[in-house]
Amino acid sequence: MAELTLDDVTKVFTEDDGNEIVAVDDVNIDIDDGEFLVLVGPSGCGKSTTLRMIAGLETVTSGEISLDGRRINEKPPAERDIAMVFQSYALYPHMTVRENMSFGLEESTDMPDDEIDSHVSETAEMMGIGDLLDRKPADLSGGQQQRVALGRAIVRDPEAFLMDEPLSNLDAKLRATMRTELQRLQAELGVTTVYVTHDQTEAMTMGDRIAILDDGVLQQVGTPLECYHAPNNQFVAGFIGEPSMNFFDVAVRDGRLVADHFEYELTPAQREAVGDADRVTLGVRPEDVEVDVEGGGSHAYDVFVDVVEPRGDENTTHLTFDRGVDEPETFTATISGLRHIQAGEPVVATLPPEAIHLFDAETGVALH
């Protein structure tokens, strides 16, 4: 078990024409012993490059990576005592499951064969693949192959696990099952884990903490609920949460926010947060918008239902201030699936002051 630290870690790729790409830009993260950290962000934000630098598969341009306080920048991958699980599983096709799982131990330890054998059998039992040890990867389902790939990492008893989108080749149902299984396994083994995904649901449900990257820059590190309730900036606010947070570009006038179609009375705390800005971005999560058939109040607005997307237990409702327009501007509200609301219906949408997020209109930084 180990603590993993990234200090000012930067990776610059130089292309053939001399063009430089800053894939990872001055990233700092302290990952606790036994912690499950999820690295999340959109495609191309630098997640895989960060993971590959920790694994030693990519050099570090500047900064330091250390494991239990010891710098590992120059250590070859095989000497890092870190196991990596890839999206592609990367199993050897000509080897049986047992051989795939034993291979790393035979190469990197002087453990006697019978001990390796029993260690592999025990791990395979724990992973629910005990009866597949004599099969080859081609004779396994995707889920079974993924279990073998995980088993192969676990059997090495490493200081840390690195996982690069390990569930993305599985169908939705299996992915959900494996998510829970992986979490349970990680908690049981207590091994420091860095898990890369572009899927915010995976990040929210699996991580002790999540680290959100955009364009190589770390935007926030926190528990899933911290990132959800108190996003540092508009990027995090829009990335975490499903459906995404609604944003309105608004002017600030005399303690009120003035949007194209509505005005919003700021609370004293919000006034203070806004300061002397003349424009801000107002954010509200779909699940925080209250939708009623009638009513009113200082933060309630008359709107129309544009489209209702049923999702079973919940409906995503697209609401608009523009009735009868061809392509109206809409915002979303999540309402109970039991409610019958139809397109075209007039409703009252309330934006509760305690659920409002405010961001700097230029920088997107959260205003508190």
* CB of residue 17 to ligand ATP, shortest distance in Å: 11
Distance CA 159, CA 81 (A): 6
* Out of 2, 27, 40, 47, the residue judged to bind ligand ATP by CB under 6 A: 47
Contact 46, 204 (CB under 8 A): no
DSSP 365: B
Site for ligand ATP in 174-233 (CB under 6 A): 198
* Out of 45, 148, 162, 266, the residue judged to bind ligand ATP by CB under 6 A: 45
The stretch near ligand ATP (CB under 6 A) out of 15-23, 224-232, 249-257, 284-292 is: 15-23
* CB of residue 44 to ligand ATP, shortest distance in Å: 4
60 contacts ligand ATP (rule: CB under 6 A): no
Give the nearer residue to ligand ATP in terms of CB position, either 165 or 288.
Answer: 165
Nearest to 60 by CA among 70, 48, 74: 74
Give the nearer residue to ligand ATP in terms of CB position, either 104 or 238.
Answer: 238
* CB of residue 15 to ligand ATP, shortest distance in Å: 6
44 contacts ligand ATP (rule: CB under 6 A): yes
Q: Which helix (H) or strand (E) holds 37?
A: strand 36-40
Contact 240, 219 (CB under 8 A): no
Contact 358, 281 (CB under 8 A): yes
48 contacts ligand ATP (rule: CB under 6 A): yes
* Out of 13, 111, 134, 325, the residue judged to bind ligand ATP by CB under 6 A: 13
Give the nearer residue to ligand ATP in terms of CB position, either 135 or 198.
Answer: 198
* CB of residue 311 to ligand ATP, shortest distance in Å: 26
Tell me which amino acid residue 271 is. Answer: R
* Out of 4, 6, 23, 303, the residue judged to bind ligand ATP by CB under 6 A: 23
The stretch near ligand ATP (CB under 6 A) out of 27-35, 37-45, 140-148, 281-289 is: 37-45
Give the nearer residue to ligand ATP in terms of CB position, either 49 or 234.
Answer: 49
38 contacts ligand ATP (rule: CB under 6 A): no
Distance CA 184, CA 345 (A): 46
- The sheet carrying 20-31 orders its strands as 20-31, 4-14, 62-67, 70-71
Overall residue count recorded for the chain in this entry: 368
Give the nearer residue to ligand ATP in terms of CB position, either 49 or 246.
Answer: 49
DSSP 4: E
* Out of 8, 12, 20, 21, the residue judged to bind ligand ATP by CB under 6 A: 21
DSSP-assigned states of every residue in 274-332? HTT-SEEEEEE-GGG-EEESS---TTEEEEEEEEEEE-SSEEEEEEES-TT-SS--EEE
Give the nearer residue to ligand ATP in terms of CB position, either 163 or 361.
Answer: 163
DSSP-assigned states of every residue in 167-229? TTTS-HHHHHHHHHHHHHHHHHHT-EEEEEES-HHHHHHH-SEEEEEETTEEEEEE-HHHHHH
Catalog residues that contact ligand ATP under the rule CB under 6 A: 13, 15, 21, 23, 41, 43-49, 198
